[in-house]
Amino acid sequence: MSALLRHSASFLAACGLFSAVLGSQLVGGNYGAAPQPGLYLVLTGVWFGFVVGYGVWRFGHASAASAITVILTTWVAWEAAVNVAIQIDRPWLSELLPGFLRGYSAGFAAGAVGAVITWAGAAVAVPSLRTKLAFGSLVVAGALLGLLLPATNYYDGGAVLLVPWQATIAGLLGFHMIPSSGRSWHSSVTLPSGG
């Protein structure tokens, strides 16, 4: 078991699972009133930020300053995703989308937004994440797992969404931090670093 956890993807997926359980129990305060934009469930994004920040430091060989920046970027990703979901799931959209579709649309969009911002923050610090494969796999996984958002209304707590989303996104980040010599089908096409 310990050899499996030394692999970056497995280790970060396990950390993502832990942060999701923690984030569904210790959510922190809200600074705003839905449906208005605000800061919601503040600690949930912080816990996952620690996982991603540690991952880029440990496995992506980024500096401590970069890791702190990634923690903050991941928290911003969480808050942006929550706010996107709140805005899409508002009653004013009831004329365009039935209630059940609003929930799925909100989850899909929020999952994609959270994944894009999380990826961007980590990719600035870790060059191996700047591939189309890394970008695409994280965004698709984030959006598809975001479809679990309506299930949080039927189960007690957000773990039904957070556990698969955070474990998968963290695991994919870890997977794409493997040096390209470690896998034969690695995409050599990179995306611009933006800075």
Task: For residue range 18-29, list pLDDT tens digits in order.
Answer: 999 999 998 888
Exposed/middle/buried for residue 33 (C-beta within 10 Å: 0-12, 13-18, 19+): exposed
Task: Using the predicted structure, report yes or no on whether residue 142 has a pLDDT greater than 50.
Answer: yes
Burial string for 61-88 (b: 16+ CB within 10 Å, else e) reads ebeeebbebbbebbbbbbbbbbbbbbbb
Phi-psi domain of 179 (left: phi exceeds 0; alpha: psi -120 through 50; beta: other): beta
| pLDDT over 80 (residue 174) | yes
**Greater confidence, 42 or 111?**
111
5: pLDDT strictly greater than 80: no
Indicate if the pLDDT at residue 100 is higher than 60.
yes
Has residue 117 got a pLDDT over 60? yes
In this predicted structure, what is the pLDDT of residue 138?
98
Query: Could you give the CA distance from residue 119 to residue 8 in angstroms, rounded to a whole number?
Result: 16
In the chain, % helix, strand, coil (3-state, to 5) comes to: 70, 0, 25
**Sign of the CA dihedral running 21, 60, 7, 5:** negative
Q: What is the pTM of this model?
A: 0.87
pLDDT of 32 reads 81
What backbone phi and psi angles, to 5 degrees, belong to 156?
Answer: -80, 100
